Amino acid sequence: MQRRMRGWTWIGGHLLVVLGLLHAGGHPARAQSEPRVEARVSADSVKIGERFTLTLVAARAADRDVMFPGVDAGSAVFGDLHAVRRGAVRTRRSSTARRVDSVAYEVTTFALDSARVPVLPVRLASGGDTTVVGTPPRTVPVVSVVGPDAEALRTPAALIPFPRPAWAWGLLALLTAAALGGGAYGWWRWRTRDEEAPDETESEHPYEAASARLRRLERRHPSGDEAAKAFYVDLTEALRVYLVRRVGVRALEQTTAEVVAALRRRPEVQDATIRRLQAVLEQADLVKFADAQPSPAESRSVLDEAQAVLDALEATQRRDDAQTRDDAQATDDTPPSA
């Protein structure tokens, strides 16, 4: 009897050990097969316009293919970050059944205080099935570009008093009289010219004025840093002045994001035109604020795209004007009710 009890005890103990191992090993095996993605940044904090590295890492099964977002995905995917370029995808083996893929993006941001990094989608394909896994969202602090000794710069020391010679007062009086006389003469000339002919810039149609400014840019070849910045400043100013005069958007005092948001509130402007305008303005922002240096051929391509966007906006405005005239004519032709 005792030998039988010892036999059952031996069998039961080994059975419990086997069941325990199966129970403990089942969950890690499933967890190990699940894909994991994360986003890493190369700096704890950045400055406005500073370039840094965003790295996406995906751990997946060896039989799956990974697809990371493209560099041209825009703000809809990257949020407050602007992707400048993307590196090659690197793959390493973590085990016989697991692979780890990573890709690095060179990015920058123009956000204030903090830059929002949204959930970045990573697609995993196996056969005919595709799974989308998102990275956890995070925030990158954006620090002020004002140095730590800014307080000393804001509070200059008092000026040292010193006596002024008498001839200085006489020279100051002569300069003041000359300035007043020159100002009066200039005002008189301006009034005379204004009475003779209306201002050519104001009388010219907004579309014609903007097109003329863009055509003048065709003769320029921006090959240096300062030349490229001046080129893109003039290009965006032509578009923004047109938006103010023709569309009624306060584009001269708004950021690119605010201009895009204002246009999206106008149902007559097509989404495709808004996206093309946003791409032109964002490319100009990279040159003006992030020290990007496109080639002359790239700048010519952006100039052609700006003219195409201007043509599309003007076509929309003319259709809207024609519809307004037709509605007004229909109202005038309607006989009054008895």
Q: Is residue 333 part of a domain?
A: no
pLDDT of residue 104: 94
Q: Report the candidate in 40, 19, 61 with the shortest Cα–Cα distance to residue 117.
A: 40
Q: CATH code at 47? A: 2.60.40
> Same domain for 207 and 115?
no
Q: Which helix (H) or strand (E) holds 273?
A: helix 271-289
Q: CATH code at 238? A: 1.20.120
Q: Is residue 8 part of a domain?
A: no
End position of a domain, from candidates 92, 115, 143: 143
Q: What is the largest CA-CA distance in the chain?
A: 130
Q: Is residue 149 part of a domain?
A: no
- Mean pLDDT, all residues of the chain: 80
DSSP, residue by residue, 168-192:
HHHHHHHHHHHHHHHHHHHHHHHHH
pLDDT of residue 243: 95
* DSSP tally for the chain: helices H, then strands E: 10, 11
pLDDT of residue 333: 61
> Same domain for 213 and 322?
yes
Q: Is residue 48 part of a domain?
A: yes
Residue 48 pLDDT level (bands cut at 50, 70, 90): confident
- What domain count does the chain have? 2
DSSP class of residue 252 equals: G
Q: What is the pLDDT of residues 258-296, one digit of tens each?
A: 999 999 999 889 999 999 999 999 999 998 898 888 888
* Share of residues in the chain with pLDDT > 70 (%): 76
CB burial of residue 289 (10 Å; 0-12, 13-18, 19+): middle
Q: Is residue 29 part of a domain?
A: no
> Same domain for 216 and 320?
yes
Q: Which domain holds residue 211?
A: 203-328
pLDDT of residue 241: 96
Q: Is residue 283 part of a domain?
A: yes
> How far is CA 61 from its chain centroid?
35
End position of a domain, from candidates 96, 120, 143: 143
Q: Is residue 212 part of a domain?
A: yes
Q: Residue 141: CA atoms inside 13 Å, Cβ hemisphere, count?
A: 6
> How far is CA 99 from its chain centroid?
33
pLDDT of residue 20: 42
Strands 46-47, 138-143: pairing kind: parallel
